Amino acid sequence: MITKMFEYKTWADDRTLMAVEKIDRVLYPDSYAFALQQINHIVIVEELFRSRLEDKPLPHAATNTKVVPHFDELKARLDVSSHWYLDYVSTLNDGERSISFTYTDGKRGTLSINETLFHIVNHGSYHRGNIAHALDLAAVPHRFDGYGIFIHEVQPERRGT
């Protein structure tokens, strides 16, 4: 199930990125900037938790940046992150093992690996919902990205008759 969750996450992220590219930056600069900020936050959080899973130093001091990278950089980083998590979960042996870490606000935390992975998928879903609102404000049609839609798109035989 964890592998399927990350396949879903990658699929949903790709749909969101395709829609964000369609925002008219001249007519809707605030919606575009907001969408990029949300993508930036998503990828930073994924990179932070990746470093915790790998027991490496944190790559960021906060969950946002003062300057938001360009779309192409964010898209590339999200793609790298998605592939890393897909590879990671495909070889995961002990999802119940706990990891302890320090959040960027300085507070300590402990999560199991499975909880960490759930957080990554859930966190991205939450922020994609925020991005969907920005897409609506920018008059960009976008397809829903719920798990049920994903599973029936990738396994249409599950639709039945």
Please name the residue that has the structure tokens 């070889």.
Answer: 91
Q: How far apart are CA 40 and CA 46, in angstroms?
A: 10
Strand 98-102 and strand 108-112: pairing? Answer: antiparallel
Q: What are the tens digits of pLDDT across the range 55-71?
A: 999 999 999 999 999 99
Task: Report the share of the chain in percent with pLDDT over 90.
Answer: 84
At residue 111, the 3 state secondary structure works out as strand
At residue 138, the 3 state secondary structure works out as coil
Pick 159 or 44 by higher pLDDT.
Answer: 44
Confidence of residue 161 (pLDDT cuts 50, 70, 90): low
pTM: 0.93
